[in-house]
Amino acid sequence: MENSEEKEGGQGERATGEIKALDKELASHPSLLSDGLKGTVAGQHHGRSHKDQLNNNTSTTTSTMTLDAWYMDESDADPRLPHRLEPTQPVSPDQLRQIGVFHWKLNADLYEDDPELDQIRREQGYSYSDVITVKPDTLPNYEEKLKMFFAEHLHLDDEIRYILDGHAYFDVRSECDRWIRIALRKGDLITLPAGIYHRFTVDETNYTKAMRLFVGEPVWKAYNRPADNFEKRQKYLASLQSA
């Protein structure tokens, strides 16, 4: 769910966080279609690394209990299909935490005024947010955009998404470089650590509405694999060894 220039290797942009500036960015990058833009940047950068979260997670709301995840098959059929193995090979919440993936389950109907969400944002330092919608009738070149979202990539910052409506899949690489598919539904807030290879798609319903959160001013730049030389990637790999 990044913009096309970023995915195609262009220069990443730093949004100012001001509504005006973000509107300009949205206008030039239709993949960032927004309905209910919240654009806010405030507070301090105090987000924690996934290792810190693993060792010292103080939030009472953290949960991966309801998250459905599984190892994917090798099929090159439509990415929007579930791609489960037969029999299915589930991935546990602990396994996800070990690779730095964290999850909360919230009431998305309350997202505009939710004390629980506010608490998570305070604890994690998620000072920026906006809302995007991915569906065919609002996203020009929808199929092409989906292909772009599905290219394996990493970021130099955590990727944080809160599903407000619809469905989505995030695929992340396991320690052994296998694809793990994480099914996200309304109310799922997920964080992927900087440096993890991953990709995104909607499911067969072709619709998701999500809040994007960020620590400080957002940087949407994505680096397609191979991107192993980045320090953040190396730090992430080192964190897997010590987790």
Residue 132 CB, shortest distance to Fe ion, in Å, is 13
Residue 206 CB, shortest distance to Fe ion, in Å, is 19
Interatomic CA distance for residues 67 and 123, integer angstroms: 21
Residue 222 CB, shortest distance to Fe ion, in Å, is 5
CA distances from 36 to 41, 122, 184, 196, 222 (A): 16, 21, 21, 29, 24
Q: Which is nearer to Fe ion, 104 or 223 (CB)?
A: 223
120-179 positions binding Fe ion, by CB under 5 A: 159
Taking alpha carbons only, the member of 189, 111, 27 closest to residue 15 is 27
Q: Which is nearer to Fe ion, 13 or 159 (CB)?
A: 159
Q: Which residue lies nearest Fe ion, judged by its C-beta? A: 159
Interatomic CA distance for residues 153 and 221, integer angstroms: 10
Residue 20 CB, shortest distance to Fe ion, in Å, is 25
Phi/psi-derived region of residue 154, left when phi > 0, alpha when psi is between -120 and 50, beta in every other case: beta
Interatomic CA distance for residues 3 and 28, integer angstroms: 9
Q: Which is nearer to Fe ion, 130 or 159 (CB)?
A: 159
Three-state DSSP class for residue 228:
coil
26-55 positions binding Fe ion, by CB under 5 A: none
Amino acid 156 reads L
Q: Which residue has the tokens 């942009």?
A: 13
Q: Which is nearer to Fe ion, 120 or 190 (CB)?
A: 190
Q: Which is nearer to Fe ion, 227 or 243 (CB)?
A: 227
Residue 115 CB, shortest distance to Fe ion, in Å, is 28
| Binding stretches for Fe ion (CB under 5 A) | 159
